[in-house]
Amino acid sequence: MAIFKGSGVAIVTPFKPDGEVNYEEFAKQIDFQINNGTDAIIVCGTTGESACLSHEEHLAVIDFCVKHVNHRVPVVAGTGSNCTDTAVYLSVEAEKIGADGLLIVTPYYNKATQRGLIDHYKIVAGAVKLPIILYSVKSRTGTNIEPKTAAELINSVPNIVGIKEASGDIGQVARIMALTDGKADLYSGNDDQVIPLLSLGGIGVISVVANVAPSYMHNLVMNYLNGSPDEARKMQLKVLDLVDSLFCEVNPIPVKHAMNIMGMNAGPMRRPLSPMEPENLERLKRSMRDFGLIQ
């Protein structure tokens, strides 16, 4: 059984002006997501600035999220690392905390071989019982999960159940689904490619846009899955300009600005991420107005 179907938000980690995690605002954001139809909370992923959290903060954020969600929707914890031992540690601790599943990105910077990736994921999976979603995003990590590698892991490791595919390569996604006989739990990792991946057998999206438009992304996916593909296609096309604006600088810089503009108090980013360039900020505001997020 899939961890979730629909739209899972890659939720931001809100910070106070002094850089500390703002748990009061985090609780509000979690409630906003659940009250507006989000199907799962993905915590401490890329959008949550996990790379700039200490191990203690990382686990504290997961713990707070699990407790505040309180079984209303599944919580998927990002526990990937460029070090296999660290990924094992974070994954084991997230399981103890009570997460419903794990999202594990490819080791970054190290540029592991495909055999190295297989060994890495098998070691992590062997340390826990939770279902695991692989996360392939070469543009950020420098390492791609090739279709044969993904298929070997999904077909042979019982608790590796699927993949968040953010390669942007539709042909690669198709090959993964073919090599797994369509059994992989496939999630789009790109908000502008949700419908193409659903058409190949996907069951949802792990979405940045959902931070500001949760009901929209939920409805986009569910319209497709529930037999209204034309409406879903129209929604996909309508959101493209907003998606482009939310990724005109590296994620999560624009989405945090968007949330702040909407009064959601996501706070600043941690360095080395910096405030948006003025022209990009104006572009973001225009897209938000056109989409109806702000006046």
Can you tell me the distance from the alpha carbon of 122 to that of 289, in angstroms, rounded to the nearest whole number? Answer: 46
* Packing angle of the helix pair 84-97, 114-127 (nearest 10 deg): 30
- Pairing mode, strands 160-165 and 132-136: parallel
Coil, helix or strand for 122? helix
Judge contact between 62 and 40, C-beta under 8 A. Answer: no
Main-chain dihedrals φ then ψ at residue 266, nearest 5 degrees = -75, -20
Can you tell me the distance from the alpha carbon of 291 to that of 289, in angstroms, rounded to the nearest whole number? Answer: 5
Catalytic residue, candidates 164, 187, 216, 224:
164
Main-chain dihedrals φ then ψ at residue 42, nearest 5 degrees = -105, 110
Sign of CA dihedral 266, 36, 287, 11: positive
Judge contact between 4 and 162, C-beta under 8 A. Answer: no
Can you tell me the distance from the alpha carbon of 157 to that of 137, in angstroms, rounded to the nearest whole number? Answer: 21
Element spanning 255, H or E: helix 253-261
Adjacent-strand bridge partners of 160: 132
For the question of residue 89 being annotated catalytic, the response is no
| 97's tokens | 């905390």
Judge contact between 23 and 64, C-beta under 8 A. Answer: yes
Catalytic residue, candidates 67, 108, 111, 135:
135
For the question of residue 164 being annotated catalytic, the response is yes
Catalytic positions: 135, 164
